[in-house]
Structure 1
Amino acid sequence: MPTDGTYTAVVDRFEDSLAVILLEDDGETVGEVVVDRERLPEDGRHVNAVLIVELEDEEVIDVTYKEQETVDRSERAQRRFDDLSQRPPSTEDESNTS
């Protein structure tokens, strides 16, 4: 279990009425917590929602949804996917442009 403090976190998945949240430190996953879905802010009750989670005595004491960070991460992931899905030009394509 990560130490007490404030973490950036991401909703990883839901298992029945529970939310599994991955905790990050400097962009690296350092642990996870499981909370009742109802403890999450209503607009942050979806997979890949970015949250700020505060832990004290190994308990989640506060959760805040970060809408803009959620949007930013989603857009970055989509751009990476789009970049990777581009077919590199073949030799034939290159000779047609000259």
Structure 2
Amino acid sequence: MTGDGTYVATVDRIEEGLAVCLLEDDDEVVCERHVEEEELPDDCGEGAVLELTLRDGRIEELEFDPERTRRRRERTQSRFDRLSRRPDEDGD
């Protein structure tokens, strides 16, 4: 059970109108919560990073963090680009 507080959450996927949000604490996923897709803030979709506040075990607030979302997407793309290079492209 995740305690009350504010967490970083990533929209992992949206299935049948439910967004599966992975909640993090110190950069580790601690649980997942399901949110009705229409309850997500505007401009949110898969991969969006949110600030999620829990009170009494319920989601009290969801706030989209566009800057953190942009940085995560850039880091992920950079990792993918590095992994997709052939070894001879790195000068090895």
1:43 maps to amino acid = D
Identity of aligned residues (%): 47
List 4+ stretches of structure 1 deviating above 6 A.
none
Q: Give the corresponding residue for 1:39.
A: 39
Number of the residue aligned with 1:75: 74
User: How much is the aligned-residue C-alpha RMSD, in angstroms?
Assistant: 1.7
Cα distance in 1 for residues equivalent to 2:85 and 2:29: 29
Question: Using the alignment, how far apart are the partners of 1:82 and 1:32 within structure 2?
Answer: 28
The two structures have a TM-score, normalised by structure 2, of: 0.91
Cα deviations by residue, 1:66-88 (Å, 9 ceiling, x for unpaired): 00111100000111111111111
The alpha-carbon deviation at position 63 of structure 1 amounts to 0.1
1:54 pairs with 2:62:
no
The residue that corresponds to 2:23 in the other structure is 23
User: 1: distance between equivalents of 2:13 and 2:84?
Assistant: 26
CA drift of 1:61 comes to: 0.3
- Which stretches in structure 1 are left out of the alignment for 5+ residues? none
Q: Distance in 2 between matches of 1:21 and 1:88?
A: 35
Q: TM-score, normalised by structure 1?
A: 0.86
For the residue of structure 2 that corresponds to 1:73, the secondary structure is: helix
Q: Distance in 1 between matches of 2:34 and 2:3?
A: 15
Structure with bigger gyration radius: 1
